[in-house]
Amino acid sequence: MSVRWRAACVALLLVSASGFGHVMRPTVHLADQRAKVDLETLFPASFGAWRIDTQVPVTIISPDVEAKLKSIYAQTLTRTYIGPAGERIMLSVAYGGDQSDATRAHRPDVCYPAQGFEILSNQNAVVDLGGELRLPVRHMASKLAQRHEPVTFWFVVGEHVAVSGQQQKIAQLRYGVQGLIPDGMLVRVSSIDRDTEAAYRVQARFVGDLHAAMSRPARARVFGSALAG
């Protein structure tokens, strides 16, 4: 009888765990409860002293990787901006209504090595947005042959900024216990420059000017609700 009793208890626990997992499985997309995202209009064509440079094509990712990104994300946007002194910044944005393991797999520090880039450094950093606002970002210096490309990037999971894969997962789980599937946005800013620190300074200025030019709702989507200002 004791063996049968133990077997019955195990079976009951398995059934309970299965039922609990079904109940706790997120079913509602946060994106359906928020205003629709249109990257083309969300990111201005010109702001401050920056404008789109139509003379220089954006060559950030290879066609096969781009096709993969488009199969995962609902929208992607790539632009090159030119600044007042002729400096050029490449902007790449990907947005998806489902912040999942698949989207996290396409972090720049994963994608760039897959394209043959050597990662020279990869560390957390902060961009000053003015006042007391600080944007957590990731600084990644990459190199492919003679191409030196410093990169600044961050993710927004739902309403929260996440830099590391662990932070993305934690944010996803926080929404999950509420029964919500968060949307996700990857924002990547980069430039071709052998002077890595100088490149990061220009990129920070670009990001700060972008933040200043956006409306509060737009800021919340691109920089997280805490940095909407």
> For residues 19 and 11, what is the distance between their CA atoms, to the nearest angstrom?
12
Mean pLDDT of 168-178: 85
- How would residue 9 be classed by pLDDT, with cut points 50, 70 and 90? low
User: How much is the average pLDDT of 123-139?
Assistant: 94
Residue 15 is predicted with a pLDDT of 46
pLDDT of 174:
87
- Assess whether pLDDT exceeds 50 at residue 140: yes
**pLDDT at residue number 110:** 86
Lowest mean pLDDT among 32-36, 121-125, 134-138, 163-167: 32-36
Residue partners of 45: CB distance under 8 A and separation at least 6: 51, 52
Predicted TM-score of the model (pTM): 0.80
Domain boundaries, the chain: 27-227
Give 30's DSSP letter: G
- Span of 19-23, 115-119, 186-190 with lowest mean pLDDT: 19-23
Residues 65-88: tens digit of each pLDDT: 555 555 555 789 999 999 999 999
SS3 state at 161: strand
Output the pLDDT for position 20: 44
